[in-house]
Homo-oligomer: A and B are copies of this chain.
Amino acid sequence: MQDDTREQLLESATRLFAAKGFYGASLAGIADELGLTKQALLHHFGKKEKLYAEVLSRISDRMLECVEAARSAHDAPADQLLEALQGIYALSSEAPHETRILVRELLDSERRASEVRSWYLKPFLDALVGITRDIAGKKNLGNTEALSRIYPLLGAMSYFVVSDVVLRQMYGKANYTRMQRRFPEEIREQVEALAASLA
């Protein structure tokens, strides 16, 4: 039953880390959302860093899961890639908080690097690289080349998801919704072009 509190604390933390970043989000602020004190938070997680690490690993787990589900759902690597990327988009589109945290992780990596290795994204990236190399098939595509091909796609997705607030402010909610609905189609076109250029 009291695991529930822990769960809720993790959700508050996810929301606030996404909105304000690691240093901007305060323990007191996170705990306040549930009417608790920051010491309750520290009781469950010990240190702010540990709370953050748990939030981060939970997000990257979900991402990796999504790619592996796509892998086992299809035989053709091109289909796997399409399903994986559209799945990730669906995931991060309905939970933009998590995407925001991952992008923040890119920005803060310079400082965090000394404290904690933060390669939470690596298994996820490697899985995508694997699929891409499968598409290329026998003509041996290097890791770096494969990464060069999918990284722009990933970047376009993350950047768009993370731009939701600003785009809505600048061009209106209706226009953003239209872009949002169109986006999976944009992904499909890109993936098909990529598969065609590799096959």
Contacts and interface: CB of A to CB of B under 8 A. Distances in A.
Interface string A89-125: 0000000000010011111111101000011011001
Interface in A57-100: 100
Interface SS majority for chain A: helix
A12 to B, nearest CB: 16
Report how many copies the assembly holds: 2
Interface stretch (A20-28, A32-40, A44-52, A130-138): A20-28
A158 interface: yes
Interface string A127-171: 000000000000000011001100111111111101101100111
A147 B176 CA distance: 10
Contacts of A144: 171, 175, 178-179
Given A21-B23, A152-B156, A156-B152, A109 B166 contact: yes
A24 to B, nearest CB: 5
A147 B179 contact: yes
A182 interface: yes
Interface residues of A, number: 50
A186 interface: yes
B186 A125 contact: no
A111 B15 CA distance: 13
A198 interface: no
A19 interface: yes
A111 B166 CA distance: 11
A1 interface: no
B151 A153 contact: no
7 contacts: A106-B162, A113-B165, A143-B171, A148-B183, A148-B186, A153-B156, A154-B159
Given A107-B107, A144-B171, A151-B160, 11 more contacts: A103-B107, A104-B107, A105-B166, A109-B165, A122-B170, A147-B179, A148-B182, A152-B186, A155-B156, A155-B159, A159-B159
